[in-house]
Structure 1
Amino acid sequence: MDRQELILGQVLSFHGDPITEGVAAARIERQGSVLISGGRIIGHGPAAALRAAHPDARLTDMSGHLISAGFVDAHAHMPQTAIIASWGKRLIDWLNDYTFPEEMRFGDRAYAEEIANRYLDLLLAHGTTSVASFCTTHPASVEALFAAAEARGMRVAGGKTCMDRNAPEGLIDTAQRAHEESAALIARWHKRGRAIYAITPRFAPTSTPEQLEALGALWAAHPDCLMQTHLCEQLEELDWVRALYPQARDYLDVYERAGLTGPGALFGHAIHLTGRERQHLRESGSSLIHCPTSNTFIGSGLFDMAGLAADGQRIGLATDTGGGSSFSMLRTMAAAYEIAQLRGAALHPAELWWLATAGSARALGLGDRIGNIAPGMEADLVAIDLASTPAIAQRSARANELWEAIFPTIMMGDDRAIAAVWVDGHRRQIPPKGNETVSGSDIGLPPA
């Protein structure tokens, strides 16, 4: 059995959803500790009591740091790592000008492996220990993601992106091939170690009804998989869906008819929803994934966090890289706060942190395994330096209570705030800040 490790710090845990149950659903133990062993959280509580009860445990002193569950990014695009922060256009232009050309490169297995490894290292450097990611139509891209995650011990969901129309010929598959290749990947990777397969139609405009039905049949045969796609992101997209699916009542109905709603369904964006869509999403147990930096970067609209939470929707939070402009869930929390302000509601720091951890884990159907600090949970943890930069330190020092001290890190923090990361109970080496390197082929400046 692994030797027990006792991590000392200010321990943040949840016993409910702060958005619907109030901020008291979050608890911070100021002189706290977390006991881990064998990849699991054994217990947490006052440091003095756990030190006395476990005198042989290896001590890791992160006193003054915030100890939290690792961040959970509920919607992202690993293949877009190298094109993050490309000059923003509208969604369809962005796909055609940046995304599709980059995804064509993933037919090269070596390139897929390079990007998958870089991507997961970037996540860990930003304190993200779990992610649900789209891959490309190439099965090799899925293999690369899961292999890179397995090497790091990370709990990752992913799947082959399926498209059989309205995309470049080199990225097009068919309904049958999407089903067969996805089924083969499920057989190879789903529930292997910490891997979870997500059946992945990109979105309704790039799939025929036949492909969506084939993927719905695949999900029915493998209901413990996830299903991830996009929904109601931009108004032009809604018009496109109406033209392609004139028989559908609305955008969500396209997925409903194919059997692609229900528990385990992850709908990215969900900004421009009808009342009927909101009702069916709630009643079906589907999850909505808020992608705030992407929504502002590409000009999609303002997610109705307060209204959807009041509806009883299951909501997660995500970077949506590379349409999203940051790998950091801290920056993503800050953007969620800003969007909520524009909608007339101020999210409390406890609500933001819950969305980035336990809320996203619940949206993925993994709330019993990741996203919180509790006995029996998987030991994915992050230690946060609440004074990581001079600007943050001077504001945090004036705080009258701990949430006020945490909020500057939410609003101004980045990878410099990540002091340590544990994945599956093992402390991971994270790159020195500012020293990440990429290959020369990825630097797009013209020659001098």
Structure 2
Amino acid sequence: MRSIRGHLLTPTSRGSWREERDAVLHVGADGRIESIGRSAGGGRHLLVPGFVDAHAHVPQHAICGVPAGRLLEWLRRLVFPREARDRGEGAERFFREALRHGTVAGAFYSSAWPESAEACRAAMERLGVRGWIGMPLMDLFTYRPDLARLPLRARTRRVIGELESVLRRDGRVRTAVTPRFALSCSDELLEAAGSFPQPVQTHISEQPDEVSAARRRGRDYLAVYERAGLVRRESIYAHGIWLTASEWTRLRRAGATVAHCPTSNLFLGSGVMDWKAAWKGHVALGTDVGAGPSLSMYDVMRASWASHLAKSGTAPSARMLLEAATVGGACAIGEPLGCLEPGRPATLQVLDRDAILAGEADSLDDLLSRIVHRGGAHAIRAVYVDGKKVKLATASGARYES
């Protein structure tokens, strides 16, 4: 049995947290927490759940921090040419970097090549990263030359056949049905995608010109996906900046999750999502690499706080942000993560208290706020996945320690 000691901080339900100053997590052979006891001497370290990144593009890691105009222009000039060359060569590096920043799971996109999706899945399985991988579905505006030369109907059939092949490889890492966004998919492809029972991930209402184009195909953007049967409990919709009140209500009723991606939204000048509307339903946080310039969920939490404060004069609390970054994302992808309690996987970050606190915290909320605003890779001393300590960002890659 492994023991992990420290100052435990974990959400237990929305708005409620458990704090144990001298905790010891007793971890069984199956990697789950068997019990939580007390033991002196662990106060230098803070034990917090690992992050769940609810939206990121693996092949775009190579172009982080490179601007190229607004969304549609950025996709055309930078993203699509990069993804057209990608067969998953950078997947291992991406997930090693995510682990270095405390991210242990998420909902990820490969390029539109099946080989890329399989390379991402293999890297996730090797490194112990849980979650979804999705191959973006594109029969319109495709960047694949083998598809572009086909008539639309043949192109659509080819994409559906490749999706079926990728879905057959489901295992610990699940395959998500992933229409890139409404503008990249014909109605026939969207309807076929909606017929599969697997989870769904896509984009919605990121920038006004995209929204205007989507509305030509339905009464509003969400209606395009609803008509195809793609709005369901196991679905993640990234961005949602320009959603109407009706769309927010319908997403909540369906049990869908909105992935809030503030670093990306700022980088592309997309706008600021309605946090109050999102918090009424299911909300998670995403780095949206590569429009998001880093894989740090700490950066994402800080960007959310600052952008909402600047826009409306009020900001999400540290509790809200940490919950969205952990248990919010875990619920979205259907994994028992984001909360450290008996029966759950011992999947967590160990933070150096001294790297975050210059003095003593006056309260739990004070401490959580310091973690949000002063946390980062510099403070992470260890990451555990299923009770096993991960070697972080070495030249040989992240691997489980024996």
Give the TM-score normalised by the residue count of structure 1. Answer: 0.83
Query: SS of the counterpart of 1:430?
Result: coil
- Residue equivalent to 2:315: 346
Q: Percent identity of the aligned residues?
A: 37
More deviation in 204-213 or 333-342? 333-342
- Which residue identity lines up with residue 153 of structure 1 in the other structure? G
Q: Would the aligned equivalents of 2:49 and 2:338 in 1 still touch at CA under 8 Å?
A: yes
**Residue in structure 1 matched with residue 151 of structure 2 by the alignment:** none
Structure 2 residue 297 is matched with structure 1 residue 297: no
How far apart, CA to CA, are the structure 2 residues paired with 1:376 and 1:273?
38
Read off the aligned partner of 2:209 and give its amino acid letter. Answer: E
Query: What is the aligned partner in structure 2 of residue 29 from structure 1?
Result: 20
**How much has 1:398 moved relative to structure 2?**
5.3
Inter-partner Cα distance in structure 2 for 1:384 and 1:146: 28
Which stretch has the larger CA shift, 202-211 or 356-365? Answer: 356-365
1:234 aligns with 2:203: no
How far apart are 1:344 and its partner, in Å?
A: 3.1
Displacement of 1:93 after TM fit?
1.2
Matched residue, 1:185: 166
SS in 2 for 1:253: helix
Whether contact under 8 Å (2:65, 2:290) holds in the other structure is yes
CA distance in 2: counterparts of 1:169 and 1:340, whole angstroms: 38
From 315, 324, 327, the counterpart of 1:355: 324
Provide, for residues 220-279 of structure 1, a one-character-per-residue CA deviation record: whole Å limited to 9, x for no partner. Answer: xxx2x2100000111111112134x1xx11000000011100111110001111122112
Q: Distance in 1 between matches of 2:32 and 2:360?
A: 36
Question: How much does 1:406 deviate?
Answer: 4.0
2:12 aligned to which of 6, 12, 15: 15
Once superposed, what is the RMSD of the aligned Cα atoms? 1.9
Equivalent position SS for 1:199 = coil
Aligned partner (choices 162, 174, 193) of residue 196 of structure 1: 174
Provide the C-alpha distance between the structure 2 equivalents of 1:172 and 1:305, rounded to a whole number of angstroms: 39
Matched, 1:97 2:77: yes
> Hey, what's the Cα distance between the residues in 1 that align with 2:256 and 2:146?
28
Contact map agreement 1:282 1:314 (CA 8 A) in 2: yes
**1:216 equivalenced with 2:194 (yes/no):** yes
| Alpha-carbon distance between aligned partners in 2 of 1:408 and 1:88, rounded to the nearest angstrom | 34
Q: Specify the alignment match of 1:144 in structure 2.
A: 119
Query: Gaps spanning 5+ residues in structure 1: where?
Result: 19-24, 49-60, 438-448
Are 1:160 and 2:135 counterparts? yes
**Aligned match of 1:313:** 281
Q: Do 1:292 and 1:332's aligned partners in 2 also have CA atoms closer than 8 Å?
A: yes
What corresponds to 1:446 in structure 2?
none
> What aligned pairs does 1:42-441 form with structure 2 within 5 A after superposition?
42-47=34-39, 62-107=42-87, 112=88, 114-170=89-145, 172=147, 174-188=155-169, 190=170, 192=171, 194-217=172-195, 219=196, 223=197, 225-243=198-216, 245=217, 248-309=218-279, 312-341=280-309, 342-366=311-335, 369-388=336-355, 392-394=356-358, 397=359, 399-431=361-393
1:399 Cα deviation after fit = 3.4
- Partners in 2 of 1:129 and 1:230 — Cα distance? 22
Partner residue of 1:41?
33
Task: Sort the Cα spacing of 1:405 and 1:282 in 2 relative to 1 into closer, same or farther, 3 A.
Answer: closer
CA contact (8 A) 1:126 1:328 kept: yes
Q: Is the 8 A contact 1:44 1:373 kept in 2?
A: no
Check whether the contact 1:386–1:409 (CA below 8 A) recurs between aligned residues.
Answer: no
- Partner Cα distance (1:75, 1:62) in 2: 34
1:359 Cα deviation (Å)?
1.2
Q: TM-score, structure 2 length as denominator?
A: 0.92
- How far apart, CA to CA, are the structure 2 residues paired with 1:304 and 1:315? 11
The residue number in structure 1 matching 2:400 is none
- Residues in 2 aligned to 1:86 and 1:80: alpha-carbon distance in whole angstroms: 10
Counterpart-to-counterpart distance in 1, 2:184 and 2:381: 41
How far apart in 2 are the matches of 1:177 and 1:29? 54
Asked if structure 2 preserves the Cα contact closer than 8 Å seen for 1:29 and 1:45, the reply is no
Deviation at 1:161, TM superposition (A): 0.8
Distance 1:169 1:80 in 2: 16
The answer (yes or no) to whether the contact 1:9–1:63 under 8 Å persists in 2 is yes
CA distance in 1, matches of 2:183, 2:147: 13
Seen in structure 2, the aligned counterparts of structure 1 residues 417 and 85 have a Cα distance that, compared at 3 Å, is: same
What are the superposed Cα offsets for residues 71-107 of structure 1, whole Å, 9 maximum, x if unpaired? 1001110010110111252111111111111101114
Residue identity opposite 1:240 in structure 2: A
Deviation, 1:47, is 2.8
Which residue does 1:51 correspond to in 2? none
- Separation of aligned partners in 1, 2:164 and 2:122: 18
Judge which range, 202-211 or 167-176, deviates more.
167-176
CA-CA distance at 1:41 after TM superposition: 1.5
Deviation per residue, 1:283-340 (Å, 9 max, x gap): 111111101101111111111112332xx31111111111112210111111111123
Aligned pairs, number: 389
User: Residues 419 and 97 from structure 1, CA distance in 2 versus in 1: closer, same or farther, beyond 3 angstroms?
Assistant: same
